[in-house]
Structure 1
Amino acid sequence: MLKNSQTIHFNFWLKICVINFFIVSVVGVMMRYNMAFSLPGFNHKFMQESHSHFAFYGWVSAGIFLFVTKYLSENFKKINLPKYQYLMICNQIGSYGMLFTFLYGGYFWLSIVFSSIALFIGFAYFIFLLIDTKSNENPEIIWLKSGAFFATFSAIGIFGLAYFSSKKEELDVLFRASTYFYLHYQYNGFFLFSCIGLLLISLKKIGIEIKEKLNKTIFFLLFFGCFFGYGLSVLWIEMNSVLYGFFVVISVIQFFGAILFLNWIRKTNLFKNQNFIQKLLLSIFGFAFILKFLLQSLSAIPALGVFAFSNINIVIAYLHLVLLMGISLFLIWKIVQMKEIEFNKLLKFSILLLVFGIVCNEIVLGLSGTFSIFYIPFLTAKNWLLFASVVIMISILTFIQSLKIENK
């Protein structure tokens, strides 16, 4: 268990992360309101950029940094904790800088400065992990290191965006490919691998450990699938049949790895140690996890791929499936399964409301995308999306108010 002073720091950072999640939802409501009605003085594209960057760094990355730091402090007694504190402080500076500068003017010199700060924080995090967990063979370590590696590797996409943004009209394909490069290695690499590592840490605390051979098999299937799976994000680019076939094989490999992992989870006694809310959060995360890989595999079918990559609602639904229904609900589960958290009625209600809002958001986005394929109008979609985003915002605010952490 952490020393009391370190626990106080953890409580502080945990509240910062959840408040940031609330701010993400506020900007989301602004965007949805602007789509349904009008929000004078705000540029919709700028709001999108502010919303996505702050969600990535202010909420998800900050949450991952915090839980990994907590794990390291509990299991590596000689670790230098202050450097991780400085890392989290710098990450917040970069996150809030991006929140306001992107909202003000989109991509310009100052927003790029703050983006660079956040980017180099990822580099530092990767180096810290490599040094502090050197020669450690715990099953979760390989996932955490790989997540950090993908966070660093995704920077290639950022450099591509910076270079091609000035010539976007001439090099639109490369600009779009750079965007997908960054998103792929953040979503499917950094976020997902880090969360699997954090899940293994939680399982170990209740006496459930994965066998070394099975862990390495699942890891290499998913790592290989993620590393080469970028090709599944750019199937809209013309490519020869051999390369296309290779990416189809990749989709099968990573889907098989996901099935192996979920099958192992199913055989454990994990759910016997969880209350209803925790079971619900884990079940939705598992559903989003396997659906993500299934949709990636289906996108390799040419007829479906055309609709998947050209329909903005389907693209947004997929991104929200991974980030909101998957990663965000997993982080909420990580919070509520801590022994320091008081499980009161208001906390339970806020989580149920959050789940309702997220599921509603996914259903409306999915229906909008499907209806548009068949040229069926869905005129009230914008209003329903606004409703879902307001529900999510209220649920997170309620969650913050109900969050009580005991210093144990």
Structure 2
Amino acid sequence: MQKKLVATCLINFLIAALLGLVLRYAFVGHLDFNYQFLTHTHSHVAILGWVYLMIFTLFVHYFIPKNKRFYTKLFWVTQLAVLGMLFSFPFQGYATVSIIFSTLHILCSYVFAFKMWKNLKAKNILIERLIKWSLAFMVLSTIGVWCLGPAVGLLGKASAFYQIAIQYFLHFQFNGWFLFAVIAILFHQLQVQPSKNTKLFLRLLIVATITTFALPIQWFATHWLLYYINALGSILQLLTLVYFIKIIKIPFKTIIVKQQKAVRWLYIFGLSCFILKMALQSVSVIPEFSQVLINHKNFIIGFIHLLMLGIVSGFLFAFLLYSKTIKPSVYLNLGIFSFFIGFVLTELLLTYQGSFFYFGKGLIPHYYLLLFISSIFLPLGITLILFTYSKQKQHV
């Protein structure tokens, strides 16, 4: 992997983490920036600058054997779009300049999906199908973005149409594009071979991903049929989890256990978050619980961070260490530990505060200060990981 590409992704992640820290500080001290605008900046840089571009880099590294120069140029054009959003969203939110750069990023993703689909050389039908489904979900998710303009013009931002369009994009980005891509790279590194179990696993995962979209629709458009569709998806997710554990059990023992401690720990961390995510989504079949989610944003933020920081980022770090792109060191171990501490503390605080709100107990004493202090460990950990990588003289 080209060192500049990986370093750029890590810098984007650090910027997103620092923006998140500023958002936490807004509840402790004074913030001159528009909070909503800064939230848009944080989410776009994290999703499109870190996760998207890191998966982009890993896909090209592992599955495009020739003619990588085109993808390198596409990477930098996409990074230009990320920088455009970084320097426009804080000052204007969704407006002309930020929309231009957001559109540029979407168009770049279309080019990437088309070229990747065409040039893909996975040498494993299971990995190939996972990659193609991830790319398909990425493209399909953008339909939600294209619907935002008509939704605002016709019905306004408070409409169910507008809110469902946002949820559509987020659902199929997170649970489709990102999750399928991470599983594809994971199976590649674990050398998982096609079998009856993997075939059934993929089918279940696809159907579960589509049917569980019924849950966010329920929040804005109530219908009894949506409950049963989501219930079906929740059951299928549990079955998917059973097959997933069966598939990786032996490869994990034979490959990952032999790796260095930091690599093993990151894989266990990612897998634990994945299992927790699947279990929590299955609980949404309980109507009272699904309603609690939308009424208490702490739970929503906690779940998004579980997926983005725990599963996706946890595995992306694991992939970089496993491939020896980032080499072990004391600073690396400190960085991983700091990131883990920040993740666990913030997740616990968000969940605990959400429970306080649910039971009508108000705020935890010094909640916002504790959340701000806990959040410091996240950019600190990323900084140490980036420092370790920048000091390496060679890259693999």
Paired residue for 2:345, among 355, 360, 380?
A: 360
Paired residue for 1:121, among 95, 108, 120?
A: 108
Are 1:251 and 2:234 matched, yes or no? yes
Q: Give the Cα–Cα distance (whole angstroms) in 2 for the partners of residues 234 and 300 of structure 1.
A: 14
Q: Measured at CA, do residues 101 and 396 of structure 1 come closer, stay the same or move farther in structure 2, by a change above 3 Å?
A: same
SS at match of 2:26: helix
Are 1:69 and 2:56 matched, yes or no? no
Are 1:37 and 2:37 matched, yes or no? no
Q: Deviations over 1:371-394 (max 9, x none)?
A: 110112313221122112211111
Q: Give the Cα–Cα distance (whole angstroms) in 2 for the partners of residues 124 and 26 of structure 1.
A: 30
SS at match of 1:154: helix
The Cα of 1:95 is off from its aligned counterpart by 0.9
For 2:196, the aligned partner's letter is K
Q: Deviations over 1:95-142 (max 9, x none)?
A: 111111111110001111111111112211211122113896532111
Give the TM-score, by structure 2 length. 0.94
Paired residue for 1:313, among 284, 298, 323?
A: 298
Equivalent residue number for residue 150 of structure 2: 163
Paired residue for 1:401, among 367, 387, 396?
A: 387
The Cα of 1:146 is off from its aligned counterpart by 0.9
Q: Deviations over 1:150-184 (max 9, x none)?
A: 11101111112222234564752111111110100
Q: Give the Cα–Cα distance (whole angstroms) in 2 for the partners of residues 16 and 373 of structure 1.
A: 41
Equivalent residue number for residue 22 of structure 1: 14
SS at match of 1:143: helix
SS at match of 1:406: coil
Equivalent residue number for residue 283 of structure 1: 268
Q: Give the Cα–Cα distance (whole angstroms) in 2 for the partners of residues 150 and 405 of structure 1.
A: 37
Q: Give the Cα–Cα distance (whole angstroms) in 1 for the partners of residues 163 and 102 of structure 2.
A: 18
The Cα of 1:51 is off from its aligned counterpart by 0.4
The Cα of 1:264 is off from its aligned counterpart by 2.3
The Cα of 1:258 is off from its aligned counterpart by 2.1
Equivalent residue number for residue 40 of structure 2: 49
The answer on whether the counterparts of 2:141 and 2:169 sit within 8 Å (CA) in structure 1 is yes
Q: Give the Cα–Cα distance (whole angstroms) in 1 for the partners of residues 269 and 37 of structure 2.
A: 31
Paired residue for 2:201, among 199, 206, 218?
A: 218
Q: Give the Cα–Cα distance (whole angstroms) in 2 for the partners of residues 405 and 126 of structure 1.
A: 33
Q: Measured at CA, do residues 135 and 306 of structure 1 come closer, stay the same or move farther in structure 2, by a change above 3 Å?
A: closer
Are 1:390 and 2:376 matched, yes or no? yes
Paired residue for 1:82, among 69, 89, 93?
A: 69
Q: Measured at CA, do residues 38 and 165 of structure 1 come closer, stay the same or move farther in structure 2, by a change above 3 Å?
A: farther
Q: Measured at CA, do residues 117 and 280 of structure 1 come closer, stay the same or move farther in structure 2, by a change above 3 Å?
A: same
Q: Give the Cα–Cα distance (whole angstroms) in 2 for the partners of residues 59 and 242 of structure 1.
A: 37
Are 1:381 and 2:356 matched, yes or no? no
Deviates more, 1:183-192 or 1:164-173: 164-173
Q: Give the Cα–Cα distance (whole angstroms) in 2 for the partners of residues 56 and 362 of structure 1.
A: 19
SS at match of 1:216: helix
Superposed, 1:136-155 pairs within 5 Å as 137-155=124-142
Are 1:192 and 2:179 matched, yes or no? yes
The answer on whether the counterparts of 2:190 and 2:248 sit within 8 Å (CA) in structure 1 is no
Q: Give the Cα–Cα distance (whole angstroms) in 2 for the partners of residues 122 and 247 of structure 1.
A: 29
Are 1:237 and 2:220 matched, yes or no? yes
The answer on whether the counterparts of 1:164 and 1:171 sit within 8 Å (CA) in structure 2 is no
Deviates more, 1:345-354 or 1:261-270: 261-270
Runs of 4+ in 1 over 4 A off after TM superposition: 134-137, 166-171
The answer on whether the counterparts of 2:160 and 2:221 sit within 8 Å (CA) in structure 1 is no
The Cα of 1:240 is off from its aligned counterpart by 3.6
Q: Measured at CA, do residues 39 and 170 of structure 1 come closer, stay the same or move farther in structure 2, by a change above 3 Å?
A: closer
What is the CA RMSD across the aligned residues, in angstroms? 1.8
The answer on whether the counterparts of 1:232 and 1:251 sit within 8 Å (CA) in structure 2 is no
Q: Give the Cα–Cα distance (whole angstroms) in 2 for the partners of residues 227 and 354 of structure 1.
A: 32
Give the TM-score, by structure 1 length. 0.91
For 1:383, the aligned partner's letter is L
Paired residue for 2:92, among 99, 105, 123?
A: 105
The answer on whether the counterparts of 1:122 and 1:148 sit within 8 Å (CA) in structure 2 is no
Q: Deviations over 1:259-313 (max 9, x none)?
A: 2112322233233222222222111211211222222221221111111111111
Q: Measured at CA, do residues 351 and 320 of structure 1 come closer, stay the same or move farther in structure 2, by a change above 3 Å?
A: same
Equivalent residue number for residue 132 of structure 1: 119
Deviates more, 1:381-390 or 1:333-342: 333-342
Q: Measured at CA, do residues 145 and 406 of structure 1 come closer, stay the same or move farther in structure 2, by a change above 3 Å?
A: same
SS at match of 1:379: coil
For 2:266, the aligned partner's letter is L
Q: Give the Cα–Cα distance (whole angstroms) in 2 for the partners of residues 380 and 82 of structure 1.
A: 52
